[in-house]
Structure 1
Amino acid sequence: DVDDCLPEACENGGTCVDGNNAFSCVCPPGFKGERCQIGEFNSIQYLPIQ
């Protein structure tokens, strides 16, 4: 079995997990998608400063 995790296979700090002729990404909080390429909306980031 060849390591299918290419350098920078996962974006935004995601961790690549090698599989059988495939790979998957474990995304950090705030990101999703096959390669952690999608930022999840977090309403806290958009609250006005008072």
Structure 2
Amino acid sequence: MNVAFSHSVSPSALNGQGRVKELIDVIPPEELAKALKLLLAAQKNG
């Protein structure tokens, strides 16, 4: 019995911003609001 992984995995065609957008699109609205608050605080402090 052959149980080897027999196909290759290619990297995503998305660039960095595309990956971020893809993640943002699946975050529930309440979690997105928390993330935005954290990002705005980091921007203000940085």
Which fold has the larger relative contact order, with Cα–Cα distance below 8 Å and residues 6 or more apart in sequence?
Answer: 1
Please state which band the TM-score falls in when normalised by the shorter chain.
under 0.3
- TM-score of the two chains, using structure 1 as the length reference: 0.20
- Could you tell me the TM-score, scaled by structure 2's length? 0.21
More strand by share: 1
